[in-house]
Amino acid sequence: MKGRLVLAVFLLSNILCYSVKAQILTREDSLNAGLDPNHRNVILAGYGEAKVSVDQNLKTANANLTRSVLFVGYRFTPKITFFSEMELEDARVSATGGGISMEQCVLKFDLNHSNYLLAGLMIPRIGLLNENHLPITFNGNDRHFVEQMIIPATWREMGVGYYGSSSSLPGLNWSVALLNGLNASRIGFGQGIRDARFGGRDATASNVALTAALLYYRGGFRLQASGYYGGSAGFTQREADSLRLNSGLFGTPVALTEANMQFRHNGFVLKALATYVYISQAQKLNAAFASNAPQVMYGYYAELGYNLLQGTRHKDKQCNIFTRYERLDMLAAVPENGIDNDILNQQYLITGITYLPIRNVAIKFDWTHKVTGEPNPAMIFNPSPNAPPYLRVNNFYQMGMAYSF
Nearer CB in complex with another protein: 87/329: 329
Shortest Å distance, C-beta 260 to another protein = 9
Shortest Å distance, C-beta 4 to another protein = 40
345 binds another protein (CB under 8 A): no
**Binding track over 258-287 against another protein, x by CB under 8 A:** -x-x-xx-------x-x-x-x---------
Shortest Å distance, C-beta 173 to another protein = 6
228 binds another protein (CB under 8 A): no
122 binds another protein (CB under 8 A): no
Q: Are 353 and 324 in contact (CB under 8 A)?
A: no
333 binds another protein (CB under 8 A): yes
Upper half-sphere CA count for residue 145 (Cβ side, 13 Å): 23
Pairing of the two strands 296-307 and 318-333 = antiparallel
Of 234, 233, 184, 177, nearest to 205 by C-alpha is 234
Shortest Å distance, C-beta 309 to another protein = 14
Of 304, 223, 302, nearest to 265 by C-alpha is 304
DSSP for 192-234 reads BTGGG--TTSS---SSEEEEEEEEEEETTEEEEEEEEEE----
Pairing of the two strands 115-122 and 221-230 = unpaired
Of 176, 265, 259, 175, nearest to 218 by C-alpha is 265
Residue ranges of alpha helices (H) inside 34-180 are 146-149
41 binds another protein (CB under 8 A): yes
218 binds another protein (CB under 8 A): yes
Give the one residue of 121, 136, 203, 350 binding another protein; rule: CB under 8 A. Answer: 136
Would you put residue 395 in left (φ > 0), alpha (ψ -120 to 50) or beta?
A: beta
Give the one residue of 23, 46, 65, 73 binding another protein; rule: CB under 8 A. Answer: 73
Q: Which residues sit at the interface with another protein, rule CB under 8 A? A: 27, 30-37, 39, 41, 43, 45, 47, 71, 73, 75, 78, 83, 110, 113-114, 125, 131-132, 134, 136-137, 163, 165, 167-171, 173, 215-223, 225, 257, 259, 261, 263-264, 272, 274, 276, 278, 296, 298, 315, 329, 332-333, 356, 358-360, 404
